[in-house]
Structures are given as C-alpha cells and as structure tokens.
Amino acid sequence: MKFKVIFLLVCLTNFSLAQNPQAYNIYTTKGKKVRYKKMVKHLAKKDIVLFGEQHNSAIAHWLQLRITKELAAKRSLQLGAEMIEADNQSALNLYLTDALDQRGLDTMARLWPNYQTDYAPLVDFAKSNKLSFTATNIPRKYARMVYRSGFKTLDTLSATEKMWIAPLPIDFDPELPTYRSILEMMGSHGSPKLVMAQAIKDATMAHFILSSYVPGNLFVHYNGAFHSDYYEGILWYLKRKSPNLNYATLSTVTQTNVHKLSAEHRGKADFILVVDEDVTTTY
C-alpha cells in the first residue's frame, strides 16, 4: 500500500510539472530549493550583493529588476554594474539627474549593445527613485593593454587615467581556481596576461563598489557570473579590503532540467538561479 501511495505521488508530481512548466528555480549553494521570498529576505540583511548574470538571460534580467524593486522597499539602496565603465560615470550622473536624455547618454557613454533591453530598466529605476548608480568596470582599452602587456603597462598611464582603475599595484593570485579555469577553457589561446586582464576588471569593480558604498545602505551590483562565482573574482578583492562587511552572491546557470541543481553548479554562490535552457535569450 505504501509503495502505491509513493508511486501515485511521483506520478502526480510529474504530471504537475508537465502541465505547469517552470522557466526557472532558485537553489542554495548546497542544492536545496529555496523560495523567492526567503531569498529576498536574506539579501535584504546584507551590505553588498553581487548578482552574477548570464548577459543574455532574459529571466536573469527580469529578476534583477524585480529583486531590486523589492529590496528598495526594505532598504536604502545603491546600484552599480559591470556593464558601464568607470570613465562614463559623469555621463551616467547627468542622465540620472535629468541633465541628459537617453540619446545624449547613448552618444556620451559606451553602452553595451543590449543596454536598452537588459540594463536600461535598472538605470531608469535608479533614476526614478533617485538612487545612485555606479559605473564600476575598467575602461576596456586599459583591460586590453593588460591583456597585451601585463600589469606593468598600467604604470604608463597618466594620473587622470589611473582614476578609472583600481589603485596600483593590485593584489593578484593566479592560482585562484576561477583564474586557473580560464586558462584551461582557453587552451592554447590562454595566457597569464589573459588572467591578469580578468583580475584588473575584478579589482576595479571591487574598488568602485567600496569607494561608492555608504555604510548602512545595501549595494546591489550586477555583473557577469564568472566575476563572482565560487566566491572569488570581485568578492575576493572586496573581502581583502573590507572583510567585515556582509556579502551575498547570486549566480545564473542554464540546465535542461530546472527541478534539480546539477552537481557541477553547487558551491557557485549563495543562491543559484537555474534557468531552463530553452528560454529565449535577449541576443
């Protein structure tokens, strides 16, 4: 009798999932499914949240905006993003204060091709609610310099140019697992300088997060998941400078089955957003 009941419950569960397909689920770092509201409640208690996205994930972008709105109802928020480079902060500030319209921002700032669909809603939310929004990423031309010639090339920059990167010299550990995985993924195309270019991005984003952070606020930062997965990247630099702040991380992954977190994704972040791989992407 007990077996029949269990079999019936399994059948009903499978039928329910088939009739009500889900685009995503959320899991803890250990793979336990967690309710959205519980996750938001947890995030609201932190000082800094790193939301690791897949850049073309429509679900991730939708949740970024929704989570941001809910956190804004609970805490004084600051926002920031990898997708806008630090030397575009002046143009961004002009837009946030209505001194510049969208066309002007498009002209003055180097916006990503998917800015309008994926990041403009976040910036416009900040604008409407008078929140700060920090452009945290290193200008790409300086990251390219590091990729070609290593960290030493940054010493040739002027004092003004150095304002847009993390203070030199930066701490660097090429043995961090995420950095080592870059070399493994790139194979013969990988090089130590490629890892340095990743590190200068992570260090610069951490620098501008902390230099903008106002104690007592909650700073939500949007970045590619690889920049904060496994509690490394940006978070590694944040903790070296401000170990006493309370941090939380999210990561975004895709799977064929969203109803169980694959072992390969466990440990990536405090919360892992699993998106059905069939969900339409933004590009």
pLDDT tens for residues 229-272? 999 999 999 999 999 999 999 999 999 999 999 999 999 999 99
pLDDT digits (tens, 9 = 90+) for 150-173: 999 999 999 999 999 999 999 999
∠ CA 26-59-78 to the nearest 5 degrees?
A: 85
Q: Convert 137-190 into a string of H (helix), E (strand) and C (coil).
A: ECCHHHHHHHHHHCHHHHHHCCCCHHHHCCCCCCCCCCCCHHHHHHHHHHHHHC
Tell me how far apart the alpha carbons of residues 125 and 130 are, in angstroms, rounded to a whole number.
Answer: 8
Q: Which comes out higher in pLDDT, residue 111 or 190? A: 111
- CA angle (103, 63, 164) in 5-degree steps: 50
Mean of all residue pLDDT scores within the chain: 93
Q: 207-224, pLDDT tens digit by residue? A: 999 999 999 999 999 999
Structure confidence by residue, pLDDT tens digits, 87-105: 999 999 999 999 999 999 9
Element (H, E) at 28: strand 24-28
d(CA 50, CA 27): 16
Positive or negative torsion for Cα 191, 194, 200, 202: negative
Torsional sign, CA 94, 97, 98, 99: negative
Per-residue confidence band for 19, with pLDDT thresholds at 50, 70 and 90: low
Query: Cβ atoms within 10 A of the Cβ of 206, count?
Result: 28
Strand order from edge to edge, sheet including 77-85: 24-28, 271-276, 247-255, 48-53, 218-224, 77-85, 133-137
The DSSP element (H or E) to which 8 belongs, if any, is helix 2-19
Q: Where are the domains of the chain?
A: 23-276
**Cβ atoms of 34 and 26 closer than 8 Å:** yes
* Mean pLDDT along residues 73-99: 98
Q: Quick one: pLDDT at residue 5?
A: 46
Q: How many residues does the chain have?
A: 283
Cα separation, 122 vs 25, in Å, equals 22
Spatial contact of 97 and 107, defined as CB atoms under 8 Å apart? no
Phi first, then psi: give them for residue 273, nearest 5 degrees: -90, 115
Pairing of strands 133-137, 218-224: unpaired
Residue 150: other Cβ atoms inside 10 A:
15
Q: What is the pTM of this model?
A: 0.92
Q: What are 97's two structure tokens?
A: 């204060």
pLDDT tens for each residue of 36-67 = 999 999 999 999 999 999 999 999 999 999 99
1-5, 154-158, 188-192: least confidently modelled range: 1-5
Residue 23 scores a pLDDT above 60: yes
Domain 23-276 has CATH 3.30.1330.200: no
